[in-house]
């Protein structure tokens, strides 16, 4: 008979004795189990002991997580979290540098466990660490000169322990003094600082800004762009990543008025990071990120890609204010911009007195505004009352007219001189194009927590969005001519232009010139060829024999897809653990056993380079115990995040496995593809239908290919709608030959 479900067989280690095998009854109180273990080794005061997972994490076993213990787990008997916390609290105050260093190292490791962290924090351990940071460094300044490596390690372990303890969210960030903030900022501002200390300091500043509006103001006064630039110019990608993360955090928390910039500010390097928009618009910072990060010989890792994506999103979000601002038709300054567009296009530099009567000038303006392609010829300001794109469209048009004057004049005059109804309306096109580009770049949306989709070309120019518009408006005019479109075809042209832009962006061009050349290869003719090819690949013959053949083939294809999904689950996937406080490089791995009966999973110290073997994954979940697969906002780890805009994408990648009565194994897939693979595979294991978009796409592709292969011999043969009639029986069967 199989052992009862509540009995778990484990091995327990004790440093001063041989390990012993035990059967743990999960119905018993944990304190009773610890007492039994201690009695087995003749240890008294069992309340001073606890059990730990004997792996790299060393997490304590508690009543909350005891169900994670599986058959075959290795546990360790150790001192209780309280006793360990008391011991470390005393040791880190030792007068011996070696003893203090060893104690801080142990504290940094132990602080990852929330059970220990709670006990250490209850002893006012956070205050002790901050005091050591604020005042302890002066005490060791002399030692720093002669024992620099030791000092760096001492401070590094102190800050590491602090970061780990704060990451549990037990203590509010608002409790820290200005002196502590200044001290952490000083480590960032120093030109020569230990790498580990600098990394922890940047991480602390990022967390401070993200978790407290009050601390944001204090940090922003201590850090300047000139002090952060040297960290971007180094070769350590982790330091570069944390530096950009600090800039992003300050930018994200900056009040709206601080995000806008004053063009008359001159001292850029020493301006506080509260003037975020001004800084991000500066060529120096952008060019440093471009040359030292994006074009660095070191491949960009996922975390750096995410921070660059966040920076890109936040930069484009500066456009939201203009995008959502309606034009005031009575505002003369705004109307003057439209007059400037007209003047540049038609070179109307004559004085008003020489232009005839008011009525004549109005008639002339109306004619010119019609040539410029505005919908409202009398008062084109009305065209810019639609939001989005609001005033942003007018800004783009003016930029194009001033910085690409020849192309602007050519487009306007070329279309204004046509009388065959094939003119491309520049004004209307610019407004709709600006709106489209804002949709493509998701202007106004907060960055996703799990996205790495940055475009290098947007870091190559100080006015990248405007330049992006200038390239695309010329593309629109070119496509309009290639399609020989009229005003009735406006929406069709915009659809083609969107497809051209999206296809070119998918190729991730490294510069705006490269983007432009990619668009040159995506002419309307080429788009038609691509569409035709895709249509042929997906084309379904509608005759009944073909439909019947499709129905016959479908189960075979579905079984093939199912096997592929299960094979992918057997290979396994690395999942990232995402904290609500800040992104962390913590991973766990999950894979299906080859016999499809068990899910193996466990924590990892770092992202693996290949498959993780089953025997290194400590935890197991029998497939037979799985009750259901839950997705999206119904997942327990997503319920508190569902309403947050910035968690929308994470919500779409979340799924959970329900097992036993109310136990869950929670996942956040690295991308949509892995999400579809895992939800399909788990549903297949449960005998349920695979309904993901990825399955539908695979079904269409494989079914289309299989159909084409089976119908190769029928090429150019007309397949009848109905089967041919059965011929009449012959009048006699004399033609039959009897072999006997």
**Closest by alpha carbon to 101, among 141, 138, 132, 79?**
132
In CATH, what number is assigned to the domain containing residue 66?
3.10.20.90
Together in a domain, 520 and 573: no
Question: Which residues have C-beta within 8 Å of that of residue 483, sequence separation ≥ 6?
Answer: 489, 492, 493, 496, 524
Together in a domain, 382 and 518: yes
Phi, psi of 279 (to 5 degrees): -65, -45
Q: What value does the CA radius of gyration of the chain take, rounded to a whole number of Å?
A: 34
Q: DSSP secondary structure string, 424-479? A: --HHHHHHHHHHHHHHHTTTTPPPPTT-----GGGGS-TTHHHHHHHHHHHHHHHH
Together in a domain, 338 and 435: yes
Q: How far apart are CA 127 and CA 207, in angstroms?
A: 17
Structure tokens at 683: 């549903």
> Is 272 a domain residue?
yes
Q: How far apart are CA 173 and CA 126, in angstroms?
A: 11
DSSP 294: I
Per-residue pLDDT tens over the stretch 615-652: 778 788 899 889 889 888 888 877 654 444 446 677 78
> With contact defined as beta carbons under 8 Å apart, do 203 and 219 qualify?
no
**Confidence at residue 228, expressed as pLDDT on a 0 to 100 scale:** 87
Q: How far apart are CA 239 and CA 304, in angstroms?
A: 10
Together in a domain, 590 and 691: yes
**Closest by alpha carbon to 36, among 27, 23, 19, 17?**
23
> With contact defined as beta carbons under 8 Å apart, do 320 and 444 qualify?
yes
Supply the range of the domain harboring residue 271: 172-299
**Closest by alpha carbon to 385, among 318, 305, 445, 324?**
324
Together in a domain, 480 and 427: yes
Together in a domain, 502 and 367: yes
Together in a domain, 376 and 429: yes
Q: Which residues pair with 666 in a beta bridge?
A: 656
Tokens 């994670």 belong to: 68
Whole-number percent of the chain with pLDDT over 90: 38
Per-residue pLDDT tens over the stretch 307-330: 999 999 999 999 999 999 999 888
> Is 724 a domain residue?
no
**Confidence at residue 245, expressed as pLDDT on a 0 to 100 scale:** 92
With a cut of 50, say whether residue 177 has pLDDT above it.
Answer: yes
The last residue of one of the domains, among 476, 506, 535, is 535
Among the listed ranges 41-55, 183-197, 497-511, 605-619, which one has the minimum average pLDDT value? 605-619
> Is 484 a domain residue?
yes
> Is 264 a domain residue?
yes
**Closest by alpha carbon to 188, among 180, 198, 178, 196?**
198
Q: Three-state DSSP class for 655?
A: strand
Averaged pLDDT, 497-512: 94
Per-residue pLDDT tens over the stretch 89-143: 999 998 888 899 999 999 999 999 999 999 999 999 999 999 988 875 555 454 4
Confidence of residue 548 (pLDDT cuts 50, 70, 90): confident
Together in a domain, 218 and 248: yes
Per-residue pLDDT tens over the stretch 654-698: 899 998 777 888 898 888 899 999 999 999 999 999 988 899 999
> Is 309 a domain residue?
no
Q: How far apart are CA 86 and CA 73, in angstroms?
A: 28
Confidence of residue 717 (pLDDT cuts 50, 70, 90): low
> Is 730 a domain residue?
no
Averaged pLDDT, 387-404: 93
> With contact defined as beta carbons under 8 Å apart, do 265 and 275 qualify?
yes
Averaged pLDDT, 193-210: 90
Confidence of residue 286 (pLDDT cuts 50, 70, 90): confident
Together in a domain, 426 and 528: yes
> With contact defined as beta carbons under 8 Å apart, do 470 and 399 qualify?
yes
Together in a domain, 340 and 463: yes
With a cut of 70, say whether residue 185 has pLDDT above it.
Answer: yes
Task: Give the rounded distance of the alpha carbon of 592 from its chain centre.
Answer: 26
Among the listed ranges 126-135, 468-477, 574-583, 658-667, which one has the minimum average pLDDT value? 574-583
Q: Which residues pair with 590 in a beta bridge?
A: 573, 601
Give the DSSP H or E segment for 19.
Answer: strand 17-25
Per-residue pLDDT tens over the stretch 336-384: 899 899 888 886 544 444 455 677 777 888 888 888 888 888 888 888 9
Among the listed ranges 269-278, 292-301, 513-522, which one has the minimum average pLDDT value? 269-278
Phi, psi of 87 (to 5 degrees): -60, -45
The residue count of the chain comes to 740
Averaged pLDDT, 511-535: 88
Dihedral, CA atoms, 656, 662, 663, 665, nearest 10 degrees?
0
With a cut of 80, say whether residue 593 has pLDDT above it.
Answer: yes
Q: Three-state DSSP class for 302?
A: helix
Count: domains in the chain: 4
> Is 308 a domain residue?
no
Q: How far apart are CA 590 and CA 668, in angstroms?
A: 12
Structure tokens at 596: 């499809």
> Is 540 a domain residue?
no
Indicate the average pLDDT of the chain: 83
**Confidence at residue 498, expressed as pLDDT on a 0 to 100 scale:** 95
Model pTM score:
0.74
Q: Three-state DSSP class for 592?
A: strand
């Amino acid at each position: 008979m199989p052992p009862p479900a509540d009995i778990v067989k484990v091995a327990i280690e004790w440093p001063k004795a041989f390990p012993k095998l035990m059967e743990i009854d999960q119905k018993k109180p944990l304190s009773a189990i610890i007492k039994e273990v201690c009695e087995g080794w003749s240890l008294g005061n069992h309340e001073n002991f606890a059990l730990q997972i004997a792996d790299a994490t060393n997490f304590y076993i508690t009543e909350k997580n005891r169900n994670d213990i599986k058959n075959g787990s290795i546990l360790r008997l150790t001192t209780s979290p309280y006793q360990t916390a008391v011991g470390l609290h005393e040791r880190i105050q030792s007068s011996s540098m070696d003893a203090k260093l060893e104690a801080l190292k142990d504290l940094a490791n132990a602080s990852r466990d929330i059970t220990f962290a709670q006990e250490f924090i209850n002893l006012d351990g956070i205050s002790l660490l901050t005091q050591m940071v604020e005042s302890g460094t002066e005490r060791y300044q002399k030692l720093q000169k002669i024992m620099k490596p030791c000092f760096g390690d001492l401070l590094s372990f102190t800050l590491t322990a602090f970061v780990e303890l704060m990451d549990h969210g037990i203590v509010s960030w608002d409790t820290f003094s200005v002196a502590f903030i200044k001290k952490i900022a000083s480590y960032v501002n120093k030109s020569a600082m230990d790498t580990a200390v600098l990394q922890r300091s940047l991480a602390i500043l990022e967390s401070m800004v993200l978790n407290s509006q009050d601390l944001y103001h204090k940090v922003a006064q201590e850090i300047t762009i000139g002090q952060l630039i040297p960290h971007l110019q180094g070769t350590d990608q982790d330091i570069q990543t944390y530096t950009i993360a600090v800039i992003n955090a300050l930018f994200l928390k900056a009040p709206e008025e601080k995000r806008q910039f004053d063009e008359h500010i001159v001292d850029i390097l020493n301006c506080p990071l509260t003037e975020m928009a001004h800084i991000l618009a500066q060529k120096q910072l952008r060019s440093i990120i471009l040359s030292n990060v994006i074009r660095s010989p070191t491949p960009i890792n996922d975390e750096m890609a995410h921070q660059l994506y966040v920076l890109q999103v936040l930069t484009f979000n500066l456009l939201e204010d203009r995008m959502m601002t309606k034009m005031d038709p009575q505002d003369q300054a705004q109307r003057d911009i439209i007059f400037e567009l007209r003047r540049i296009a038609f070179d109307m530099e004559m004085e008003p007195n020489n232009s005839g009567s008011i009525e004549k000038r109005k008639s002339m303006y109306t004619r010119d505004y019609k040539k410029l392609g505005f919908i409202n010829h009398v008062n084109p300001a009305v065209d810019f009352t639609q939001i989005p794109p609001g005033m942003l469209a007018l800004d783009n048009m003016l930029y194009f007219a001033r910085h690409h004057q020849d192309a602007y004049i050519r487009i306007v005059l070329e279309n204004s001189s046509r009388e065959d109804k094939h003119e491309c309306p520049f004004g209307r096109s610019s407004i709709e194009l600006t709106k489209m580009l804002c949709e493509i770049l998701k202007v106004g949306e907060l960055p996703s927590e799990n996205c790495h989709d940055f475009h290098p070309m947007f870091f190559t120019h100080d006015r990248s969005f405007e330049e992006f518009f200038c390239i695309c408006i010329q593309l629109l005019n070119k496509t309009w001519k290639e399609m020989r479109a009229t005003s009735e075809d406006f929406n069709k042209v915009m659809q083609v232009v969107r497809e051209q832009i999206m296809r070119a962006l998918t190729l991730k061009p490294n510069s705006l010139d490269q983007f432009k050349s990619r668009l040159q290869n995506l002419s309307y003719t080429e788009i038609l060829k691509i569409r035709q090819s895709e249509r042929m690949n997906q084309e379904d013959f509608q005759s009944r024999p073909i439909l019947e053949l499709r129905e016959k083939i479908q189960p075979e294809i579905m079984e093939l897809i199912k096997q592929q999904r299960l094979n992918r689950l057997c290979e396994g996937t690395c999942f990232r653990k995402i904290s609500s406080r800040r992104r962390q490089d913590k991973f766990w791995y999950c894979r299906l056993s080859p016999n499809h009966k068990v899910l193996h999973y466990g924590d990892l110290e770092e992202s693996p380079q290949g498959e993780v073997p089953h025997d290194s994954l400590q935890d197991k979940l029998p497939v037979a115990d799985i009750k259901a697969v839950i997705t999206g906002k119904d997942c327990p780890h997503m319920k508190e995040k569902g309403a947050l805009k910035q968690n929308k994408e994470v919500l779409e990648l979340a799924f959970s496995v329900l097992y036993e009565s109310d136990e869950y194994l929670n996942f956040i897939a690295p991308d949509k593809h892995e999400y579809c693979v895992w939800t399909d595979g788990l549903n297949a294991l449960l005998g349920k239908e695979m309904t993901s978009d990825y399955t539908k796409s695979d079904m269409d592709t494989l079914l289309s290919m299989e159909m084409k292969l089976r119908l190769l011999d029928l090429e150019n043969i007309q397949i009848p709608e109905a089967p041919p009639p059965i011929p009449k029986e012959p009048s006699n069967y004399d033609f039959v030959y009897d072999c006997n």
